């Protein structure tokens, strides 16, 4: 019987499933969007039940398009939006509140209070992260404080916390498995980066009982088996889990220290394989776990831009400049340049290397000649400028310019964006033939965990070369662009 892998890619705006064959060719996929909730300015929430129903529907669609029977699935991999925080009742499986999304800024004041107490250096040394509302720790604390009875119930072990991978694993296994992997656990502010275990001092700092937390298991290996699902038979192993950005790094076959990728999704994320030891950035980046295979961990250096594709979605949904996000490139190409317009897409604050929670989006350089095309072009350029800042910080950390890196994610299909990115970075960018490398990474980890592959060397062939973008812009023009950007960021 043929062997297939199912990758569940649960993202910020949609749930996706892709069926891969044993040679890592995508045979079919399904994608289902779900609602975003914005109860207050700066707050972002998801309905866990809608995430679950969209996941099930995407699996159905993927199996149908692939022409694959559910009982032909050998193993399942999960990759997910990372810091988004969910708490549910262990007995009923029902969430106690809508999930708090990674973009949500409601706990910024809590982070500022901890900084004022001088806690940031400890947090940074222990977890590799900065004190920011982006991460899960303060989101958990907010839920325990603001949902009636939650704190007491958590102490009694009646509740379960999870990032979205854990929530999906719980549902897929009929509530029998409560676990996560180090790549997700390293995004919570609660895990010791060196030991890859929950840290008692961090739990105490955020007031979080250990009874609430999932077990941390290696990224490739059996987490549990399907149980009680209509779309899949019982007994399929879930054998690979990784946060979306680490999964993309794995899916790009960046298995050697120094290899890097950038994912252009709702946000944009530049990650470099840092090797077998934790790293601490001196320039505003994050140290994180890339993945763990058996007892061996691989670490990464990461820079995060909170808003990338989300800025294009804002042009579509908020301003109505395009009907579909895919139309943005044509609109941007309708003008030769941005005509001096600069858009700082700090719609959820500024992430690395700036880490300014209070920053807000800014459009400057407008005049009577500004058109929708100029704004569209400035939006794409704003995404690229953010990645430039991350790459500069990464180059300062590693002591030499960033080498060529690979790209993926929905917005990486935009040639105009990638060419401008190569021009700013003055380095070559390569886009693989398959840009869904986040899902590919989850499938590769699941295959490893299920014993379909003996090691990473077998998986390099799954990443096939695609289009390359080399720098073309004159250095004088590049510096003019960067000067306008720096001035705008200072005002955001």
Q: Is residue 443 part of a domain?
A: no
User: Would you say residue 295 lies in a domain?
Assistant: yes
The whole-angstrom separation of Cα 91 and Cα 159 is 8
First to last CA, the chain: 58
Q: With beta carbons less than 8 A apart as the criterion, state whether 83 and 134 touch.
A: yes
Residue 445, in any domain of the structure: no
For residues 124 and 176, state if they share a domain. yes
Q: For residue 396, what are its two tokens?
A: 């300062």
State pTM to two decimals: 0.86
Predicted pLDDT of residue 119: 94
Helix (H, G, I), strand (E, B) or coil at 121: helix
Angle, CA of 28, 181 and 294, to the nearest 5°: 95
**pLDDT-wise least confident of 130-134, 266-270, 279-283, 353-357:** 353-357
**DSSP assignment, residue 323?**
S
330 and 408 fall within a common domain: yes
Selected residue with higher pLDDT from 357 and 35: 35
Residue 24 belongs to a domain with what CATH number? 3.30.420.40
Q: Do 370 and 310 have their domain in common?
A: yes
| Structure confidence at residue 2 (pLDDT) | 65
Burial tier of 467 (Cβ tally within 10 Å: 0-12, 13-18, 19+): middle
The Cα 455–Cα 451 span in angstroms is 9
Closest C-alpha among 309, 430, 453 to residue 20: 453
CA angle 418, 423, 424 (to 5 degrees): 100
2-28 confidence digits (pLDDT tens): 689 999 999 998 999 999 998 888 999
Q: Please report, for residues 219, 267, 323, the alpha-carbon distance to residue 264 in angstroms, rounded to integers and kept in the order given.
A: 23, 6, 20
Residue 447 lies in a domain: no
Burial of 433 (0-12, 13-18, 19+ CB in 10 A): exposed
Q: Name residue 297's beta-bridge partners.
A: 292
Domain range enclosing 89: 4-245
Residue 1's pLDDT band (cuts 50, 70, 90): low
Q: How many domains does the chain have?
A: 2
Q: What is the pLDDT of residues 87-102, one digit of tens each?
A: 999 999 999 999 999 9
Residues 334 and 198 in one domain: no
* Residue at token pair 């502010």: 189
Q: Which residues of 240-259 are buried (b: 16+ CB within 10 A; e: fewer)?
A: bbbbbbbbbbbbbbbbeeeb
Query: 343 is written with which tokens?
Result: 């858009």
Residue 440 lies in a domain: no
Residues 136 and 271 in one domain: no
């Amino acid at each position: 019987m043929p062997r297939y892998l199912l990758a569940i890619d649960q993202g910020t705006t949609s749930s996706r499933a892709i069926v891969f064959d044993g040679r890592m060719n995508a045979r079919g996929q399904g994608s289902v969007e779900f609602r975003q909730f914005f109860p207050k300015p700066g707050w972002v929430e998801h309905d866990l039940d809608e995430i679950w129903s969209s996941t099930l529907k995407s699996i159905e669609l993927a199996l149908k398009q692939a022409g694959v029977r559910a009982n032909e699935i050998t193993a399942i991999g999960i990759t997910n939006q990372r810091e988004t925080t969910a708490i549910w009742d262990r007995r009923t499986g029902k969430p106690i509140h809508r999930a708090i999304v990674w973009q949500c800024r409601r706990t910024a004041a809590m982070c500022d209070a901890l900084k004022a107490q001088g806690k940031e250096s400890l947090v940074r040394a222990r977890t590799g992260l900065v004190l920011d509302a982006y991460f899960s720790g303060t989101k958990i604390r907010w839920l325990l404080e603001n949902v009636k009875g939650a704190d007491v119930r958590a102490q009694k072990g009646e509740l379960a916390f999870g990032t979205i991978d854990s929530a999906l694993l719980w549902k897929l296994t009929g509530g029998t498995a409560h676990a996560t992997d180090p790549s997700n656990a390293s995004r919570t502010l609660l895990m010791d980066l060196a030991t890859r275990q929950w840290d008692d001092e961090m739990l105490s700092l955020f007031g979080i009982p250990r009874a609430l937390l999932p077990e941390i298991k290696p990224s490739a290996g059996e987490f549990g088996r399907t149980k009680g699902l209509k779309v899949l038979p019982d007994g399929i192993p879930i054998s690979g889990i990784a946060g979306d950005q680490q999964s993309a790094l794995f899916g790009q076959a960046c298995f050697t220290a120094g290899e890097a990728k950038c994912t252009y999704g709702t946000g944009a994320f530049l990650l470099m394989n840092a090797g077998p030891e934790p790293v601490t950035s001196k320039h505003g980046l994050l140290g994180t776990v890339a993945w763990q295979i058996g007892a061996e961990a691989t670490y990464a250096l990461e820079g995060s831009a909170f808003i990338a594709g989300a800025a294009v979605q804002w042009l579509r949904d908020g301003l109505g400049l395009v009907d579909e996000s895919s139309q943005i490139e044509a609109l941007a190409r309708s003008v030769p340049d941005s005509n001096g317009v600069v858009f700082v897409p700090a719609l959820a604050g500024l992430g690395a290397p700036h880490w300014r929670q209070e920053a807000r989006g800014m459009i400057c350089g407008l005049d009577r000649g500004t058109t929708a095309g100029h704004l569209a072009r400035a939006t794409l350029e704003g995404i690229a400028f953010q990645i430039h800042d991350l790459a500069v910080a990464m180059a300062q950390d590693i002591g030499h310019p960033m080498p060529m890196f690979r790209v993926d994610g929905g917005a990486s299909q935009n040639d105009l964006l990638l060419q401008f990115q190569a021009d700013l970075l003055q380095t070559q960018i390569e886009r693989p033939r398959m840009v869904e490398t986040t899902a590919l990474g989850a499938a590769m980890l699941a295959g490893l965990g299920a014993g379909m592959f003996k090691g990473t060397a077998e998986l390099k062939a799954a990443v096939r070369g695609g289009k390359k973008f080399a720098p073309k812009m004159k250095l004088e023009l590049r510096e003019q662009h960067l000067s306008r950007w720096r001035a705008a960021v200072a005002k955001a």
